[in-house]
Copies of this chain bind each other. A is one copy, B any other.
């Protein structure tokens, strides 16, 4: 029994639909269900996407059973057309007959009648009746879930596992998932799962390889990281560290968080998952920000204003792409550009001062750099970017970096560095 209790409850997600497989539409359900399962402590073993073909569907179901899953969630293939075959295939897979659910047929008929009364489209009554009946066919012994659109969902017991059959459209799937969780067949599965605890850390400026080495050192120092599930992911220039653990490993999880915070105090900017955008928004409260962007060309302004309510602290910015614009709109001395180049700490400084003055705020950030692919030199290669963040009462942070990657990496990363400079300046 102890071994049984320690075994993870496992699930697989089977996404059906030729239009998903051929990338005509994007699968939103797999990632969404993945997060729900994680929260419930159910281990997702795989997501499989197959076309609307009975043989492929059945092969997918069998593969998941062979993998020892306790729960298979299928999405899609519940519609009224001939290529919507999920209910039939799942019935075969679980060895059950399809039988007409009379109450369900009446319910679907009522939904369709309501729809027909409000739509201007001329509907083919006979085709609708046939479709109606098809959608009311339920595997014997299964629980039918009320349709959100016209397709009912299903919970089908299949020996050692349960198959949860959900419709494809996310706005139908999501409420039906909530309903499914209240049904005894699903509650049985959930009761065997043990929800995981988790936290997320965020770093900026430490490469993943160095983080991997820190994790090994921390383990060597006696923190039992074997009991923690640690995943690191480089996303848009920052490293996200996700740590998941059982209640009994809470002490190790906290030791890891403390050890990482100590080793990487300069770069581990978020200990609780808070994003840089949210931190900067909080720090800017009561201030008035303006921007002077060259190579990032509006990306920092767009990022700052991505949050509702940004007008409280954001005055505006100048995208000073040409040297003329740097002089005319920000008051940068053309002689200074001549002497030091448009991409130089000196010009970055004058751009920031110009933005501060022109917009009448109390904080400004400037970015000027070489986004490439042309325009680099030995002294100032493509990716060389100069930054300055200043406050009206005197403080400032300046940086000059060579950012690796292509044009769009350099531009995106420039905006990100601007966010982090703001954080350092204000905190």
A19 interfacial contact with B, CB 8 Å: yes
Quick check: A401 and B324 within 8 Å, CB to CB? no
Interface readout for A97-123 with B: 1 if CB under 8 Å, 0 if not?
000000000000000000100111101
Quick check: A47 and B46 within 8 Å, CB to CB? no
Main secondary structure of the interface of A (DSSP, over half): mixed
What's the minimum C-beta distance from A89 to chain B, rounded to whole angstroms?
15
With A22-B38, A50-B46, A293-B298: A316-B306 Cβ-Cβ less than 8 Å: no
Name the B residues within 8 Å of A115 (CB-CB).
404
With A207-B121, A297-B298, A302-B298: A311-B322 Cβ-Cβ less than 8 Å: yes
What's the minimum C-beta distance from A327 to chain B, rounded to whole angstroms?
11
Contact-residue size bin, chain A (C-beta under 8 Å from the other chain): 35 or more
For residue A171, which residue of chain B has the nearest CB? B406
Q: How far is the CA of A293 from the CA of B381 in the complex (A)?
A: 31
Count chain B CB atoms within 10 A of each CB in A49, A81, A124, A208 and give the residue with the most.
A49
Quick check: B311 and A315 within 8 Å, CB to CB? no
Query: What are 23 A-B pairs at a CB distance below 8 A?
Result: A18-B231, A19-B233, A21-B47, A22-B38, A22-B242, A24-B232, A30-B49, A63-B63, A82-B212, A118-B383, A131-B209, A131-B212, A171-B406, A171-B409, A297-B302, A297-B304, A297-B305, A298-B302, A302-B411, A306-B407, A308-B373, A316-B322, A322-B359
Q: How far is the CA of A236 from the CA of B124 in the complex (A)?
A: 22
Quick check: B25 and A235 within 8 Å, CB to CB? yes
What's the minimum C-beta distance from A259 to chain B, rounded to whole angstroms?
16
Name the B residues within 8 Å of A290 (CB-CB).
325
Quick check: A35 and B59 within 8 Å, CB to CB? no
Name the B residues within 8 Å of A373 (CB-CB).
308
Name the B residues within 8 Å of A79 (CB-CB).
208
Interface readout for A10-44 with B: 1 if CB under 8 Å, 0 if not?
00000000110111111000111011001000001
Quick check: B51 and A56 within 8 Å, CB to CB? no
Quick check: B231 and A24 within 8 Å, CB to CB? yes
Quick check: A314 and B321 within 8 Å, CB to CB? yes
